[in-house]
Amino acid sequence: MPALLIKNVILNNERKDIYIKDGRIETISGKLELEADRVIDGRGKYAIPGFVNMHTHAAMTLMRGIGEDISLMDWLQNIIWPTEAKLTDELVYWGTKLACVEMIKSGTTCFNDQYWNLPAAVSATEEMGLRSVHSYVILDLMDKSKSSFLKEECERMYEFSKGWSSRNTFSVGVHAPYSVSPEMIQWAAGFARKRGLPVHIHISETEAENKDSIKMHGLTPTKYLDSLGVLGPETLSAHSLWVDDEDIRIFAERGVKAIHNINSNLKIASGYRFRYKELKEAGVVVSLGTDGCASSNNLDMLETMKTTALVQKAWREDPTIMPLDELLSLATENGGKSLGLPIGVIKEGYLADFSLIDTESVAFTPNINFMANLIYSANSSCVDTVICDGKVLMENRMVEGEQEIIQMVNKLYKQLL
């Protein structure tokens, strides 16, 4: 793989050269005189780790704006699921490509996805050069007649995933404890555990979900899942918004990772009191996601970080609750930790997934505090260059194929309406 050298970039407030080989950050130093196939002039730019979007449904870019101003259950049952029944491989392929363009342009280099038509989604991601974890989604709506099909498909997709590049890995998706039968949840968790795969699941997204779970099982969704024996360090719990003290204790004990998706939660009015402080104090790894574009409308992790911090500060009436460095870690390093990947940090030995931020703009003037400007002042148009797996996916905000992708989605999305 060709070597890449970034010269004179600002990294943690110091001027550095970064040398990348075989997709990894090999050397970071004040001045490097090394041969490289490509040299990027980093003057005026700051290097930050690529964002890790820990919860999304990428091809939902196709449904941006489709169901506005309604509640989660109404939205799912009356808008999303009927629309998704019309998805084809072609639609998912182009929708995922559009999502990749959007993520690249906003500095995301890795995403943890849960969506349909897996082979189409993965080939789009492979072509766009992003890193991803793609799950085969189990959603049986308590219908036992679906289980043998789902099991066979999951197995088949897992085998198929062995042909993916090292950038894209397989996980098992369990839609939610209210939409998947206990037998299938247990089967999915067992399948994942045996093969060392993550399990990507929605837990306690709404208060109604908790109330229904208590009515049905006498247990919160977390305690119900724990009673099935399916929670473990491989569990990636999207939302986790309505967790009580006991749920948090279980998360910590089992090593469950929590993923906060504030913009989606706010917009569908699922809630906003994500118990970051308690989860952190219990030792739970917390990361951030955008959720799909049909609920949060974009895949912008900078916006996600800003909203996360503002809501936490306001709700807790405490401006110290979410310091800038910690906030950046939620969007980068903690995603890497949750997925068990050496990403989210610009450090020798880590995978070369990072962005260069252009600070020559009003948003960064004066540049007293780069991180504050980045998160609270700028928007993602400050992302100039994106490198993933040592390859340049964007330079000067140009992403290859962007126009064609926009045109194709504009042509195809009508099939869903």
CA end-to-end distance (rounded Å), the chain: 44
Q: Residue 286 is encoded by which pair of tokens? A: 């917390």
- Exposed / middle / buried, residue 233 (Cβ in 10 Å: 0-12, 13-18, 19+): middle
Residue pair 304/332 in contact by the 8 Å Cβ criterion: no
Q: Are 198 and 234 in contact (CB under 8 A)?
A: yes
Count of residues engaged in binding Zn ion, rule: CB under 5 A: 1
Residue 84 binds Zn ion (CB under 5 A): no
Binding track over 233-272 against Zn ion, x by CB under 5 A: ----------------------------------------
CA-to-CA separations, 350 to 42, 55, 353, in angstroms, rounded: 20, 22, 8
Distance of CA 398 to the CA centre of its chain: 22
Stretch that binds Zn ion, among 184-192, 289-297, 324-332, 333-341 (CB under 5 A): 289-297
CB of 238 to Zn ion, least distance (A): 5
> Of 85-93, 178-186, 283-291, 364-372, which part binds Zn ion (CB under 5 A)?
283-291
Q: How far is the CB of 27 from Zn ion (least distance, A)?
A: 39
Query: Does position 291 bind Zn ion by CB under 5 A?
Result: yes
For Zn ion, the closer of residues 25 and 54 by Cβ is 54
Q: Does 333 bind Zn ion (CB under 5 A)?
A: no
Residue number with the smallest Cβ distance to Zn ion: 291
Packing angle, helices 118-128 and 89-105, rounded to 10: 40
**Minimum distance from CB of 52 to Zn ion (Å)?**
16
CB 259 within 8 A of CB 240: yes
Residue from 293, 296, 327, 317 nearest 413 by CA: 293
Q: Which of residues 20-79 bind Zn ion (CB under 5 A)?
A: none
Helical axes 118-128 vs 147-161, angle rounded to 10°: 20
Choice between 70 and 372, CB closer to Zn ion:
70
Query: Measured from the CB of residue 57, what is the shortest distance to Zn ion in angstroms?
Result: 6
Q: Which is nearer to Zn ion, 291 or 389 (CB)?
A: 291
From residue 352, how far is each of 277, 343, 391 by CA, in Å?
31, 8, 8
Q: Determine the interface stretch with Zn ion among 35-43, 173-181, 219-227, 291-299 (rule: CB under 5 A).
A: 291-299
Closest to Zn ion by CB, 45 or 200: 200
Candidate segments 155-163, 219-227, 267-275, 284-292, binder of Zn ion by CB under 5 A: 284-292
> Which CB sits closer to Zn ion, 129 or 289?
289
Cβ contact 14:27 at 8 Å: no
Sites of contact with Zn ion (CB under 5 A): 291
